[in-house]
């Protein structure tokens, strides 16, 4: 059986929080999480697992297919804008995306580290 994991890291979140405030940063995080959840299969599991990082666990998915899915989701996120509350200035989320596949002897932490290391 195969299992792949995608990792999405929201770039420049600290700068967005500083420029627009934490409410906008939180709104952006919620929107990114919702996008990921809406773009996956029913058997996939998506979750936020650190301050600016999201994970997508894809059972029965080999590396090439996992890369295709994760990079497609990353592209959708990178082209999504939210409007800042005080003006009509759009804010575009930017994510780095990485993918790895579980292999014999790997722990969950090893899989996460491999996906993060493969981020681009």
Using one digit for the tens of pLDDT, what is the confidence trace for 16-29? 999 888 988 898 89
3-state secondary structure of 28: helix
Q: How far is the C-alpha of 72 from the C-alpha of 35, rounded, in Å?
A: 11
Least confident of 18-27, 51-60, 66-75, 99-108: 18-27
Using one digit for the tens of pLDDT, what is the confidence trace for 67-99? 999 999 999 999 988 766 666 778 888 999 999
CB-neighbour burial class of residue 64 (10 A; exposed 0-12, middle 13-18, buried 19+): exposed
Q: What is the DSSP string of 45-74?
A: EEEEEETTEEEEEEET--HHHHHHHHHHHH
């Amino acid at each position: 059986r195969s299992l792949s994991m995608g990792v999405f890291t929201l770039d420049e979140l600290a700068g967005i929080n500083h420029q627009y405030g934490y409410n906008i940063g939180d709104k952006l995080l919620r929107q990114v999480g919702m996008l990921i959840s809406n773009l996956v299969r029913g058997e996939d599991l998506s979750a936020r697992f650190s301050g600016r990082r999201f994970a997508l666990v894809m059972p029965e998915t080999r590396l090439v297919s996992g890369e295709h899915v994760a990079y497609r989701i990353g592209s959708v996120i990178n082209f999504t804008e939210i409007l800042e509350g005080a003006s009509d200035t759009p804010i575009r989320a930017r994510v780095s995306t990485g993918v790895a596949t579980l292999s014999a002897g790997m722990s969950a932490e090893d899989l996460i580290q491999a996906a993060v290391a493969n981020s681009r």
